[in-house]
Amino acid sequence: MNRKLLIAIVIILVLLVILIALNLKKSKGSATSLSSLLAEAKTLEIKNNFLEARAVYQKLIADFSNSSEVMNWQKKTEELNLRLLFSPAITPKSILYEIKPGDTLTKIANKFKTTADLIKKSNNLTDDKILPGRKIKVWTAPFSIIVDKSQNTLILKTDEEIMKTYIVSTGKNNSTPTGNFKITNKLINPTWFKAGTVVPAGSPENILGSRWLGFDLPGYGLHGTNEPQSLGKQVTQGCVRLSNPDIEELYTIIPEGTEVTITD
């Protein structure tokens, strides 16, 4: 073997060693970064710094998109979204509003296109009494809903941000209509009018569950269920069915007028 060839081989081997070392260093750095971000997120959660914790989970999703933990991080992000929504913490999508003489929760809710229930929950109010001069958190960003029939999911969004994903049931034989609708009425413990008969709230035969959010298409809407085991399937008569805790959560959050888009 001539000297020039030997030198070339040595150079190649040295370069390979350097590349391997750099890759190992990069891999080690990524692992350290991932573990440090997870530790930071958990610490922030313990301190109830939900906004900062959510930002860390969003960074994890963006920086480690190939990780098998992405779905869990997304769930944590959505969990923190709701904790922020239901807490007094002010976010970029809410304001600190000073109550004025003559104000009521309903009046304030209508002004900012939110719900009185959400104002009460996010300010830890136990009743409808409010005093002028007090400052309260009011959510100001609009909500919207997207139902995907093929996946049996409902996505709650605010502006273009996903707040939470829910598992739902949709209509058998493709009976859930597609298109754009609006929530026009809201009922607590709805009565079910079934083929000329009246099934009262609380009856085991009442399939509407604990809440009803009706569309501007008569007879259709979002509602709870007395059959939670059916969620995730296409089994309804055309409406979108959620668990009772989930529909109660949505009932608190979304006002009449909220847009609902249903896709195949």
Which one from 143, 223, 225, 250 is the annotated catalytic residue?
Answer: 223
Is 223 labeled as catalytic in the residue annotation? yes
Burial label for 124, CB within 10 Å (0-12, 13-18, 19+), is exposed
User: What are the phi and psi torsion angles at 235 (to 5°)?
Assistant: -135, -5
Asked about 247 being catalytic, the answer comes back as no
Query: CA-CA distance, 164 to 168, in Å (whole number)?
Result: 13
CA–CA separation, 118 and 251 (whole Å): 9
Among left, alpha and beta (phi > 0; psi -120 to 50; other), residue 96 is beta
Catalytic residue among 60, 108, 183, 239: 239
Q: From CA 108, how far away is CA 135, in angstroms rounded?
A: 12
Chain-centre distance of CA 22, in angstroms?
40
Q: Which residues are catalytic?
A: 223, 239
